[in-house]
Amino acid sequence: MAALLSLDGIGKDYAKIASRGGRVRLVWDLLRGRGAAQVFRALDDVSFELARGASLGVIGENGAGKSTLLKIVAGVIKPTRGTVVVRGRVGALLELGSGFHPEYTGLANIDLAAALLGLAPAEIAAKRDEIIAFADLGEHIHDPIKHYSSGMVVRLGFAVATALKPDVLITDEVLAVGDESFQKKCIAWIERYLGDGGTLLLCSHSMYHVQKLCRHALWLRDGEVARYGDAPAVTQAYLAYHEEKSMGAKAPIPKAAATAAGVYAVQTLELDPDDSMPQGGKLTIRGDVFSPDGRPPVVLVGIVRADGTPVYGVATDMDRVLPRRIARDRYAFTLEFPVLQLLPGKYFVRAHALDPEGVRLFDNVERSLTVTGDAREFGLVRLPHRWDAEK
């Protein structure tokens, strides 16, 4: 069966206007059938297919091109490059509300939206009560939309966009606006819709919603596909990217300098497996420490998430052990986590050297660690747990 929706090499350029005269120039260029002289590349080379019943979450930072992509699928704008094929009826909810007129009452806007979707007047009448019931706006349905709160507009928009059971449902940040109970109602509706074989294209900043509702995810960065695949893997990569970004680069203290200064310093730090490990696997951390006076230092090993949130830290003196002496001024340590239940994501393993009293912290060396897996739980670690429930 052919894909319900397929995009091939989609690109979209927006005209860049430098001056007032630039607008006149642009009109002239467009009339002559040329593109704009100066463009901003909003999307470039985006390709994917959606089969019937699939669900795709589009994620990315502000300005990454998410809305542009959804608008292209919805047919609101034409792509500059590439081809879009949609085989079915699209219900779109873009940027709050599906194109309402502010002066019109909720009811009049329902009629307008239905006309836009191509419904005959008789069909509109049949659907109207259903839409009103779902939007649940009470008497406000008779008020002009301009008096609505943004949440109320979204309620009406969602009710309209879903009333027709579209083949493809496109929603852009809808769930972020409604109140808690309406969000639940929307999610319940979408889950039922997906269960009935509906196809969803969801754009959201909430990884929770993407993971809950979408099987696949597409991460857009600066208009290009940064990653496309299973939702858990893509959302984790995206979160890790953000955590790293918000933390910034933190350079460890140069080892040579620490040694020269005559302080306790971590000289090497190795992870096994090296860089990436499956959730629940075994992790061994090895390293050696320079001791200026030959006394055994205290070694502190910690795991932090990529944004710096501490997960767990333990020092040799807490467990009443000493690192193993391998030379006059060198000590080695090995720490093993037989079953490391970190949830999938990006982390850092840090090793610190302290003086033998465990008071002064001299050094800080870190290695990155990616934990892979498709767990959908929340938080940092999987805690041992048991449900008393029926299977």
Partner 1 sequence: MSDATATAPSTSMLAHGRARDRALFANFFRRELTTRYLGSVTGLAWALLHPLALLAVYHFVFTSIFRATGFAGSSFLAFVAVALWPWLAAQEAIQRGTTTLAGYAGLIRKVAFPHELVIYASVAATLALHLAGYLAVLGVLKIMGEPIHLEGLLIALPLWAVLALAVTGIALALAALQVFVRDVEHVLMPVLMILMYLTPILYPLTLVPEKLRPWIAANPFGWLVDRLREALLEGRLAFAWGDLVALAVAVALFAGGRWVFRRLSPHFEDFV
Residues of this chain that bind partner 1 (CB under 8 A): 13-15, 23-24, 26-27, 30-31, 33, 35, 71-72, 74-90, 92, 94-95, 97-104, 111-112, 115-121
- The 3-class secondary structure across 38-55, one letter per residue, is CEEEEEEEEEEEECCCCE
Tell me how far, at minimum, the Cβ of 120 lies from partner 1, in Å: 7
Beta carbons of 110 and 99 less than 8 angstroms apart: no
Give whichever of 24 and 51 is closer to partner 1, judged by the CB atom. 24
Give whichever of 15 and 322 is closer to partner 1, judged by the CB atom. 15
Tell me how far, at minimum, the Cβ of 9 lies from partner 1, in Å: 10
Give whichever of 11 and 323 is closer to partner 1, judged by the CB atom. 11
Give whichever of 29 and 329 is closer to partner 1, judged by the CB atom. 29
Name, in order, each residue with C-beta under 8 angstroms of 10's C-beta and a sequence gap of 6 or more: 43, 45, 46, 47, 69, 72, 79, 81, 82, 83, 84
Tell me which residue of 141, 135, 95, 92 sits closest to 117, measured CA to CA: 92
Tell me how far, at minimum, the Cβ of 222 lies from partner 1, in Å: 18
Tell me how far, at minimum, the Cβ of 78 lies from partner 1, in Å: 5
6 by DSSP, 3-state: which? strand
Strands (E), the chain: 5-15, 39-50, 55-60, 81-86, 90-93, 168-172, 199-203, 216-221, 224-230, 265-272, 276-278, 283-290, 298-305, 310-315, 324-327, 330-337, 345-354, 365-372
Give whichever of 33 and 384 is closer to partner 1, judged by the CB atom. 33
Length of the chain: 391
Tell me how far, at minimum, the Cβ of 12 lies from partner 1, in Å: 9
Tell me which residue of 294, 283, 298, 279 sits closest to 353, measured CA to CA: 298
Give whichever of 5 and 380 is closer to partner 1, judged by the CB atom. 5
What span, in angstroms and rounded, lies between the C-alpha atoms of 156 and 136?
8
Give whichever of 76 and 361 is closer to partner 1, judged by the CB atom. 76
Tell me how far, at minimum, the Cβ of 103 lies from partner 1, in Å: 6
Tell me how far, at minimum, the Cβ of 27 lies from partner 1, in Å: 5
